Structures are given as structure tokens and as C-alpha cells.
């Protein structure tokens, strides 16, 4: 096979992307998640800081209170400890739940989620040293390495600028009163966190589309893969033909129940049987309502005789109908004349049996085009021409 056929230069099909999502393979930006955790957590923390600080101060006041009652009841120390734990839980639990909700919202909004347990299944190939070495030189790994190097450089530069511009203020901090010193530290902390979040936001803006691009590159398919996928979706021709043959056989077996409604059954004495019905009020042409071969043909014959349905021996017509007419379909137009001949004979025969007319002459020989007979063979001279 030409090696170019294996070049993965075609975009992934919808089926390929769905299978990848089912396997847990979706484009994920870790930096976008980091931004959601750090940025969202910082905003929520700032919003809850006044209430949290007040609760923390009241809790410390209660824990540091010591009186005569505490000496008389030592179990109060345990109660205070449990009370402090409960207050801390009430302070930190809303923060954790809010951050978790923000992270989940970010994942759903960006499409970086997939309900799959396959990534949790142990895979020994992941610890294969040879495959591990190969993964070191993929586009994804090279991009991650370059990204981490750029982040480290940017964070280092920002930290250096921040520290160098505030080194004098840091030295003077010990000279300030405690309250103003704490306020100054809080201001610097918020400024530092803000600068860090700006770096993370910048990286996330670049990383998110880059991850989608790299995922699309990993999902690309070759011409052979597209053809194979289409083949699997449509079904292998060999198995499709076998499946259709089984469906036809089942339909033929089920059609035996319709034989009592037939106007006549045309047979090739032992191999083929076709039941025909015609209603001029509801049908444009006669229909085949049952057909079968070999044992099934014998079954159709027996059912027809049991229900007094005429059975005519017309091998050529039986073979042509069996080969070219499907159950519940109209007969081919090329066989209209032949079927009309046998139907006319049957109707005349039924009328004579009721005393409403003369008995018909000998059974007609239907005019069947030879090319519709599957057993017809062209003369050697015509075949050579």
C-alpha cells in the first residue's frame, strides 16, 4: 500500500470524535482550570473575607477565654474544641463548594468534560519505557515544555520586578505599628496575587485554543482509516449479504401464514413455490404474498391445498417470480402477461366449479421472457458474440 495513504491529513469524523469522548479524550486546558481555581477562589475569598474575619475573631475570643467555670468542668475544653471545629467548617465549606462549582461550570462551558471510566482502567502500556520515550517528542509534550518554560520566565520576571520595587518598603515594615503593618502586608498580598492571576489568565487565553488545536491534530485520520470507519458503519459486504439472506429466509418462513389469502400458487414441482394475490379494487398489479424453496416450497403447497388454493405447475414462471419478485411487492411488469394468463385460467376454473361457466381448456403455458428465468442459458453462438 502507498505510504501516503497512511498520512493522517484528514479531519476527524464525528464518529471518531464521539468515540474519543467516550474514551475520555477531550481537549483540556489545565491553565484554564488553574485560572478558575485561583481566580475564582481569590474572588470568593475576598467576598467572604469580612464575614470570615469577624467569625474568626469571635471564635478566637471564645477559645482564649479562661474562667473559674473552666477549672470546675474540664469537659468544657472538648466542647470548645468541637465548637471551634464546627465554626471553621462553616467558614471553609462554602468556600470549597463555591470553588468546586466554579471549576465544574468552567469545564462544562469549555467542553472539557467527558463521562467515561476508561481513563481509570489500568493500562500497562503507559509504563512502557519505549512508549514513554516516544511521548517525550510529541507535539503535546513539546508544547507543554515550552509553555512551562515561558510561564517560569514570566513569573520570575514579575516576581523580580515586584520584589525589587518594594525592597525598601519591606525594610521599613518593621518600623510600622502592627495594625498598619498588617494592612500593608494585605495590600501587597492582593497585589502579588493579582499579578499572578494576570499571568495565569494570559497563559489560559493562549493554552485553551492551543489544546483544541493539538487535540484536533491527534484526532486526524488517514484515508485508510476513513474508509475502514465507513466500512464498519455500513457493514462488511460479505456479512451484509449473509444478513440479508437470513432476513429474506425469515421473511419467507413468516409469509407461509399469508398463503390462505392467495388466489393461486405457482410451483416448479419440487424446488420453488410462489403465492400470488390480486385485488383489482386495492392493487395496481398482482402481488407476491409468499414464496419459498425446497422444504418451504412443499410447506406452501401443503398449506395451499389445505385451504383449497389452486396450485399450478409452471416451472419457468415459478423460477422467474421467485428470482425477481420480493414478498409483499408487485410482480415485475415483464411478467404481467404471464401472470394474467394463469390468473384468468384460475378465475375461469373457480367459476366452472361453482357452475357459473364452462370448464377451461388445458392449463396455459405462460409467456415468460427467457432472460427472467435464472436457469436460462444463452446459446453458445450468442454468448460468444
**pLDDT at 302 exceeding the cut of 60:** yes
Pairwise CA distance, residues 329 & 274, whole Å: 12
**pLDDT tens digits for range 180-208:** 777 777 777 778 778 888 888 888 888 88
Q: Is 3 within a domain?
A: no
**pLDDT tens digits for range 115-139:** 666 666 666 666 666 666 666 667 7
Which pLDDT does position 382 carry in this prediction? Answer: 46
**pLDDT tens digits for range 6-41:** 577 788 887 788 888 777 778 888 888 888 888 888
Which pLDDT does position 265 carry in this prediction? Answer: 92
Pairwise CA distance, residues 268 & 319, whole Å: 7
**pLDDT tens digits for range 84-94:** 777 777 777 88
- What's the start-to-end Cα distance of the chain, in Å? 39
Q: Give the residue-averaged pLDDT of 101-121.
A: 75
**pLDDT at 276 exceeding the cut of 90:** yes
Beta bridge partners of 273: 267, 292
Question: Number of C-alpha atoms within 13 angstroms, CB side, residue 136?
Answer: 6
Q: Are residues 72 and 182 in the same domain?
A: yes
Which pLDDT does position 2 carry in this prediction? Answer: 41
Q: Is 380 within a domain?
A: no
Q: Is 249 within a domain?
A: no
DSSP 202-233: HHHHHHHHHHHHHHHHHT-B-HHHHHHHHHHH
Say how many domains are in the chain.
2
Please state, in angstroms and as integers, the Cα–Cα distance from residue 302 to each residue in 2, 33, 275, 311, 361, following that order.
60, 75, 12, 10, 25
**pLDDT at 275 exceeding the cut of 90:** yes
Which pLDDT does position 266 carry in this prediction? Answer: 92
CB of 90 closer than 8 Å to CB of 82: no
**pLDDT tens digits for range 49-95:** 777 777 777 777 766 666 666 667 767 767 777 877 777 777 778 87
**pLDDT at 369 exceeding the cut of 80:** yes
Which pLDDT does position 129 carry in this prediction? Answer: 66
Last residue of a domain, one of 215, 230, 245: 230
Which pLDDT does position 3 carry in this prediction? Answer: 41
Q: Are residues 35 and 167 in the same domain?
A: yes
Which pLDDT does position 122 carry in this prediction? Answer: 67
Q: Is 248 within a domain?
A: no
**pLDDT tens digits for range 317-368:** 999 999 898 888 899 999 999 999 999 988 888 888 887 878 877 788 888 8
CB of 337 closer than 8 Å to CB of 320: no
Domain that holds residue 350: 254-375
Q: For cell 394475490, what's the residue?
A: 277
Q: Which three cell numbers stand for residue 134?
A: 516516544
**pLDDT at 5 exceeding the cut of 50:** no
Burial 156-180 (b: 16+ CB within 10 A, else e): eeeeeeeeeeeeeeeeeeeeeeeee
Q: Are residues 265 and 224 in the same domain?
A: no
DSSP-derived 3-state class of residue 164 = helix
Residue 287 CB: number of other CB atoms within 10 A? 21
Q: Which three cell numbers stand for residue 34?
A: 488553574
Q: Is 2 within a domain?
A: no
Q: Give the residue-averaged pLDDT of 212-232.
A: 81
Q: Are residues 316 and 181 in the same domain?
A: no
Q: Are residues 214 and 296 in the same domain?
A: no
Q: Is 384 within a domain?
A: no
DSSP-derived 3-state class of residue 267 = strand
Q: Are residues 36 and 146 in the same domain?
A: yes
Q: Is 328 within a domain?
A: yes
Query: Which CATH number characterizes residue 326's domain?
Result: 3.40.1690.10
CB of 188 closer than 8 Å to CB of 166: yes
pLDDT band of residue 277 (cuts 50, 70, 90) is very high
Q: Are residues 328 and 221 in the same domain?
A: no
Altogether, the residues listed in the chain come to a count of 385
Q: Are residues 222 and 274 in the same domain?
A: no
CB of 318 closer than 8 Å to CB of 273: yes
Q: Are residues 218 and 258 in the same domain?
A: no
pLDDT band of residue 148 (cuts 50, 70, 90) is confident
Which pLDDT does position 303 carry in this prediction? Answer: 92
Pairwise CA distance, residues 214 & 34, whole Å: 19
Which pLDDT does position 288 carry in this prediction? Answer: 92
Question: Number of C-alpha atoms within 13 angstroms, CB side, residue 41?
Answer: 15
Q: Is the pTM of this model over 0.85?
A: no
Which pLDDT does position 101 carry in this prediction? Answer: 87
Q: Are residues 151 and 276 in the same domain?
A: no
Helix (H) or strand (E) holding 29: none
Q: Is 381 within a domain?
A: no
Question: Number of C-alpha atoms within 13 angstroms, CB side, residue 249?
Answer: 8
Q: Which three cell numbers stand for residue 352?
A: 366452472
Q: Are residues 64 and 129 in the same domain?
A: yes
Q: Which of 136-150, 174-188, 311-325 has the highest mean pLDDT?
A: 311-325
Q: Which three cell numbers stand for residue 324?
A: 425477481
Q: For cell 517528542, what's the residue?
A: 137
Pairwise CA distance, residues 193 & 188, whole Å: 8
- Which of these, 301, 317, 319, lies nearest to 363 by C-alpha position? 317
Q: Are residues 270 and 215 in the same domain?
A: no
Instruction: Determine what percent of the chain is predicted with pLDDT higher than 90.
Output: 11
Which pLDDT does position 4 carry in this prediction? Answer: 42
Average pLDDT of the chain, as a whole number? 79
Amino acid at each position: 500500500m502507498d505510504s501516503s495513504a497512511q498520512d493522517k491529513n484528514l479531519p476527524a469524523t464525528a464518529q471518531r470524535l464521539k468515540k474519543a469522548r467516550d474514551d475520555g479524550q477531550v481537549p483540556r486546558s489545565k491553565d484554564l482550570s488553574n485560572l478558575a481555581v485561583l481566580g475564582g477562589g481569590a474572588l470568593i475569598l475576598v467576598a467572604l473575607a469580612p464575614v470570615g474575619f469577624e467569625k474568626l475573631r469571635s471564635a478566637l475570643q471564645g477559645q482564649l477565654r479562661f474562667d473559674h467555670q473552666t477549672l470546675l468542668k474540664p469537659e468544657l475544653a472538648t466542647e470548645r474544641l468541637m465548637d471551634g471545629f464546627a465554626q471553621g467548617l462553616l467558614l471553609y465549606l462554602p468556600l470549597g463548594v463555591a470553588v468546586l462549582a466554579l471549576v465544574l461550570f468552567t469545564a462544562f462551558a469549555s467542553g472539557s468534560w467527558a463521562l467515561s471510566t476508561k481513563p481509570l482502567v489500568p493500562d500497562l502500556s503507559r509504563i512502557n519505557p519505549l512508549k514513554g520515550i516516544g511521548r517525550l517528542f510529541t507535539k503535546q509534550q513539546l508544547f507543554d515544555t515550552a509553555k512551562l518554560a515561558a510561564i517560569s520566565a514570566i513569573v520570575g520576571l514579575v516576581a523580580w520586578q515586584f520584589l525589587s520595587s518594594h525592597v525598601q518598603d519591606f525594610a521599613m515594615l518593621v518600623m510600622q505599628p502592627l495594625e498598619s503593618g498588617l494592612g500593608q502586608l494585605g495590600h501587597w498580598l492582593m497585589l502579588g496575587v493579582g499579578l499572578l492571576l494576570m499571568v495565569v489568565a494570559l497563559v489560559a487565553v493562549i493554552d485553551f485554543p492551543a489544546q483544541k488545536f493539538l487535540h484536533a491534530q491527534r484526532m486526524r485520520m488517514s484515508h485508510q482509516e476513513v474508509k475502514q470507519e465507513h466500512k464498519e458503519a455500513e457493514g462488511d459486504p460479505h456479512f451484509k449479504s449473509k444478513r440479508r439472506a437470513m432476513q429474506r429466509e425469515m421473511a419467507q418462513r413468516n409469509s407461509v401464514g399469508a398463503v390462505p389469502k392467495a388466489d393461486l400458487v405457482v410451483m416448479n414441482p419440487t424446488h420453488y413455490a410462489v403465492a400470488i394475490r390480486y385485488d383489482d379494487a386495492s392493487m395496481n398489479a398482482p402481488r407476491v404474498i409468499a414464496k419459498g424453496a425446497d422444504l418451504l416450497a412443499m410447506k406452501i403447497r401443503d398449506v395451499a391445498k389445505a385451504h383449497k388454493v389452486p396450485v399450478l405447475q409452471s416451472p419457468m414462471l415459478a423460477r422467474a417470480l421467485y428470482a425477481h419478485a420480493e414478498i409483499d411487492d408487485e410482480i415485475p411488469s415483464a411478467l404481467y402477461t404471464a401472470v394474467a394468463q394463469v390468473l384468468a385460467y384460475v378465475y375461469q376454473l373457480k367459476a366452472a366449479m361453482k357452475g357459473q361457466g364452462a370448464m377451461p381448456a388445458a392449463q396455459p403455458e405462460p409467456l415468460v421472457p427467457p432472460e427472467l428465468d435464472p436457469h436460462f442459458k444463452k446459446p453458445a453462438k450468442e454468448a460468444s458474440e
